[in-house]
Amino acid sequence: MPTRGLVVKDVASDSIAAELGVERGDTVLQINGTDIKDIIDYKFYSADENLQVLLQKNDGERWLLEIEKDFDESLGIDFRGDGIGRTRRCRNKCVFCFVDQMPARMRPSLYVKDDDYRLSFAQGNFITLTNAGTAELERIAGMRLSPLYVSIHTVNPALRQKIMGHPGAGRIMEQLNFLARAGIEMHTQAVLCPGLNDGAELERTIRELGSLWPAVRSLAVVPVGLTAHRRGLHHLRPYRQEEARTVVKQVQHRQKEFISRYGYPLVFAGDEFYLTAGIPVPPAARYGGFPQTENGVGLVRLFKDQWSKVRRKLPRAAAKPVRVAVVTGLLAGPLLRQVADELNRIGQVEVLPYVLKNNFFGHNVTVAGLLTGQDLINGLTGHELGEKVLIPSVMLREGDATFLDDVTVDEISRRLGTPVVPVGGPADLVREMVL
Ligand code: SF4
């Protein structure tokens, strides 16, 4: 008996599926006799040149479609939902889990702890592999689900078990070795906590992961994020400047070794470490193609490089007076002020920089991406804002005009009486100012 399959959301016109009469609401049950459990199965099995697709029509009738096509040619079907079905949940109790530090009464999706290799492959979510047994690893290998994004934190088995609160967490190197032998590429991360997995432990993590190059493509070293809502959790504190300097130097030292050995830096310190340490971020070449910008690695360098291109083309004076507010979090405050100073040298331009504290998650959370709508309302109400308020687009949920606390851009614009406009970087910023 086939499993429930995937329900068709849309069929592209002029596609193979449209020609064969596949319609919205139909269900793809099997391909070449194999049950289609999720989008991963579908992508893998539908790549073949000769297919027999078992389809259940809306009225319950079953059709067997015989298809001949080019290898990898799409059938033109889009499925409902994310095509994953029920997501595998995380069984860990990480000492630094951000979900456990969320304030109460936020939207339910923010409390979801997924740990699903399919989402890692399909969307780049970090997974831990603590819930991946032989069957899952073999499926990853057999279907070549590559690259994957894996949270390592430490390769020391006992320490990883302690940090992640899971007895199976100590098998990580065994699992990575298996995946590396199967040709799976992995981007990895280590969330560092002062005195817990840094120093000699970080040294070991970098060394052992580095030995798996080129299967391990990158290691991002990022500092633990601590909110003001930690209740009854393991005692942790943020990195101090001197400690952040030590981490950056350690990473830079290992980068040099990897560059001479592999021609690639492989390990990267997150922007937050550089900014906390007060050490300038390295040149773009040291970011090896920026494999982990989503993890806050290299965004400052990208911003600076874009700004140096944009500033060369700035006019001496604007065609008409421009007055705007520009917002960021504490961490990027100095960078924003520097940009505002330069823009304010242009005739008829006034940029008002606002560097806001995060009252929602607490003052230890300093990145712009975690500022909420409420922080903006509190921080900007009653201040001079000019014609519009420009905010970094990373403050919003992807593809959405909503902040983490569900406040919308429109709502803030209304409350402030000034349009709020998200910008993606310096080029966008200058465009919005019509310079
Ligand atoms: S893996 Fe750890 S940090 Fe991630 S959701 Fe689970 S408990 Fe939280």
User: Residue 273: is its pLDDT beyond 80?
Assistant: yes
DSSP state of 184: -
Band of pLDDT at residue 84, cut at 50, 70 and 90: confident
Q: Determine which of 28-37, 100-109, 252-261, 412-421 has the lowest per-residue pLDDT on average.
A: 100-109
Distance 151 CA to ligand 1 centre (A): 9
Residue type, 287: Y
Which pLDDT does position 434 carry in this prediction? 77
Q: Residue 318: phi, psi to the nearest 5?
A: -80, 155
| Candidate from 92, 96, 151, 152 with most ligand 1 atoms within 8 A of CB, to mutate | 92
Percent of the chain at pLDDT exceeding 90: 86
Which pLDDT does position 218 carry in this prediction? 98
The radius of gyration of the chain's CA atoms, rounded to the nearest angstrom, is 25
Give Cα 354 distance to the centre of its chain.
26
* Nearest atom of ligand 1 to the alpha carbon of 113: 5
Greater pLDDT, 433 or 197: 197
What would the two tokens of residue 195 be? 């005195």
Which pLDDT does position 350 carry in this prediction? 96
Which pLDDT does position 309 carry in this prediction? 96
Residue whose CA is at the smallest distance from ligand 1 atom 4: 97
Q: Facing residues of 6 across strands?
A: 28
Q: What is residue 365's three-state secondary structure?
A: coil
CA 343-276-332 angle, to 5 degrees, is: 25
pLDDT tens profile 193-210? 999 999 999 999 999 999
* d(C-alpha 189, C-alpha 167), whole Å: 20
Which pLDDT does position 399 carry in this prediction? 66
The per-residue pLDDT of the chain, averaged, comes to 94
Q: Is 339 in the pocket of ligand 1 (CB under 6 A)?
A: no
Distances (CA, A) of 167 to 129, 138, 153, 242: 12, 21, 15, 34
Query: Which residue shows structure tokens 């961490």?
Result: 331
The HSE-up count of residue 106 (CA atoms within 13 Å, CB side) is 22
Which pLDDT does position 238 carry in this prediction? 94
| Candidate from 90, 96, 116, 191 with most ligand 1 atoms within 8 A of CB, to mutate | 90
> Which stretches of 182-329 are DSSP H helices?
200-210, 241-262, 271-277, 299-312
Band of pLDDT at residue 412, cut at 50, 70 and 90: very high
pLDDT tens profile 229-251? 887 788 899 999 999 999 999 99
* d(C-alpha 201, C-alpha 253), whole Å: 15
Which pLDDT does position 1 carry in this prediction? 46
Which pLDDT does position 81 carry in this prediction? 79
